[in-house]
Amino acid sequence: MQCLAWLNNGVIATAAQAISTLISGQCDDLVAGLHPRYTNLMMRRVRFYWRLYKAFLRTSLVREMEFRANFWAKVFYNLLWLGFFLVTLKIIFRHTDSIAGWNEAEALVLASTLYLIDALISTLFYFGLSELPALVRQGTLDFVLFKPVDAQFWLSLRRINLDQLGSLVVAVLLGIYALLQLGYIPPLVNVLLYLSMVLTGVLIFYSFHFMMMTLSIWLVRVENLWVLSDVFAQLGRFPTDVFDRVLRRVFTYVLPIAFLATIPAKALLGKASAVFLGFAVAWAFVFFVAGRLLWKFALRSYTSASS
């Protein structure tokens, strides 16, 4: 504990002295002591947020079960829209064998991927985040910012939309059916690549949607910011192969719409290399960090309702 004693007595006073002392190994006791301390702190925070998320899940379940008829009506409504989409797809393929190189079974894989990602988005964070403009306009964002919890976490995950669970199950079953129609069993590496890209696609959309909602701190009276996110998602519904070469590159390397459905589906079918996972992770990281920085910057301009 020699180094700690020196620090307490003010012996190590300059940066140069601190660096030379560290290099000499005389502060190994301090360096070794910091690691478990910060590790324990991090684990406590992880456990705290995990307990908080479970509380969100319980309250969401209670809310849905209080209005069971409404819950099942929303489940039926979501499945009905999926049915309309599949009927439309069936009608289209009665008049053609393929669209931009996608046959009917491959298009079903794409559709299942689209609805899987859409259901995850709607279940986990979409509706909670979409309430941010109303919180800003009504002044109730103050109560969120004063809570002893990260505001982004609370806004993003406090409302879990459980009526989308039916869509999740149907999307998975639809994907399995499409693969059986193809007579194709994807290898494990393709499945893992697919699941990884699905998660990065969800994170990319989350970050984009969060940035759009954050704009409400400046554009207080604009209520339909969610439309910008929906346009982003709607473009992702189409296989990027239907666009010309320039737009395909734009939607892959500039505005990563291709990672919302097309590239994950291709990865499952063995038509996209693992290199695209690197692009997906990079885009997810860039979008998430950009969203976090924009949020922190926007809060500097936020005027409390009580001020």
**pLDDT tens track for 117-171:** 988 998 999 888 988 988 888 888 888 888 889 999 999 999 888 878 888 888 8
Q: Of how many residues is the chain composed?
A: 307
- pLDDT of residue 195 exceeding 80: yes
pLDDT of residue 37: 67
- pLDDT of residue 22 exceeding 80: no
The DSSP call for residue 215 is G
Residue 289 phi/psi, 5-degree rounding, is: -65, -40
Look at residue 173 and give its three-state secondary structure: helix
- pLDDT of residue 3 exceeding 50: no
pLDDT of residue 193: 93
pLDDT of residue 18: 42
**Contact (CB, 8 A) for 168 and 120:** yes
Task: Give the Cα separation of 42 and 50 in Å (integer).
Answer: 12
**pLDDT tens track for 46-71:** 888 899 999 999 988 888 788 778 77
Q: Band of the pLDDT at 12, cuts 50, 70, 90?
A: very low
Average pLDDT value over all residues in the chain:
81
Q: Band of the pLDDT at 16, cuts 50, 70, 90?
A: very low
**Contact (CB, 8 A) for 168 and 75:** no
- pLDDT of residue 29 exceeding 50: no
Question: Which residues are CB-contacts of 210 (< 8 A; sequence separation ≥ 6)?
Answer: 129, 152, 156, 291, 295
Alpha helices by DSSP H, 218-261: 226-236, 245-249
